[in-house]
Amino acid sequence: MAAEDNDASIALVTGAASGIGAAVVARLTGRGWKVAGVDLRGSETDLPLVADVADRGAVREAADRAARQLGPVSLLVSVAGHYEMFPVSEIGTERWQRMLSVHLGGTRNACAAVLPAMLEAGRGTIITTSSELALGGGAEDAHYAAAKGAIIGFTKSLAAEVADRGVRVNSVAPGPTDTPLLAPDSPWRDPAFLQTLPLGRLVSPEEVAETVLFLAEEGSYFCGQVLSPNAGAVI
């Protein structure tokens, strides 16, 4: 299903201002989708909306505004998140809860905001963003991996719950990706680390966006799946 093939071509993308989210916006826009972008700052989208995804009310308001101004949202791509590395003993309660509230809570809030209308329409696609670290684990990533793993369980369950009402839910689990989330001195950019990856390089945001686009437009037979563009980080 390409956007130009039907009139239900409105997408809501969270984390739309940079990195994977911005690449998803660019790819969708290039295919004819109208995109409302949610982020902590303005995004280069048809409808930039500033909101914290951890704020349930703000996300609902953003989704409502997207529907009013652009039309019924038929695609949600939930990307918003942040990344930080700490040994488990240095992750305090505040960091733990913030990680869960942004990643799992943000995904939950975005799904809760768009799902009722999708179910009423009997059609819709939701794509969440997990991580290769949730599949294989990674030292000093306890809170990040836990939150991203929770997104996988959430995605599979929601997919099973709403598939028979016309809504497909899937997830992408990128490997280390060349985005602003990886600081210049990030160990994930270390050539010694990259050499351990079967493909020997970071994934590009555009490659993750291509995976998202596939799930959105062509993968009508994917339900509750986790696609992991990860340069072989987890095989």
Partner 1 sequence: MSPDPEGIRIGEALPLEGTVALVTGAAQGIGKATALRLAADGAIVAANDREPSEALEEVAAGCGGFAAAADVSDPDAVAQMVALIGESLGPVGVLVSNAAYMSMGSFTEQDEADWWRQVDTNLSATFYLVREVLPGMRRLGRGRIVFVSSEWGVVGWPNATAYAASKAGLISLGKTLGRELAPENIITSIVAPGVTDTPSSRSTPATPECRSKR
SS3 readout for 113-126 = HHHHHHHHHCCEEE
CB closer to partner 1, 153 vs 198: 153
Fill in the per-residue mask, 160 to 199: x = in contact with partner 1 (CB under 8 A), - = not in contact.
xxx-------------------------------------
As a residue count, the chain comes to: 235
CB closer to partner 1, 48 vs 166: 166
Residue 159 interacting with partner 1 (CB under 8 A): yes
* Segment interacting with partner 1 (CB under 8 A) among 64-72, 132-140, 189-197, 204-212: 132-140
Tokens of 17: 């201002």
Q: Is the dihedral of CA 77, 81, 87, 92 positive or negative?
A: negative
83 is catalytic: no
In the range 54-83, which residues lie near partner 1 by CB under 8 A?
A: 56
Q: From the list 39, 141, 178, 207, which residue makes contact with partner 1 (rule: CB under 8 A)?
A: 141
Residue 52 contacts residue 80 (beta carbons within 8 Å)? no
Residue 19 contacts residue 206 (beta carbons within 8 Å)? no
Q: Which residues are catalytic, by number? A: 144
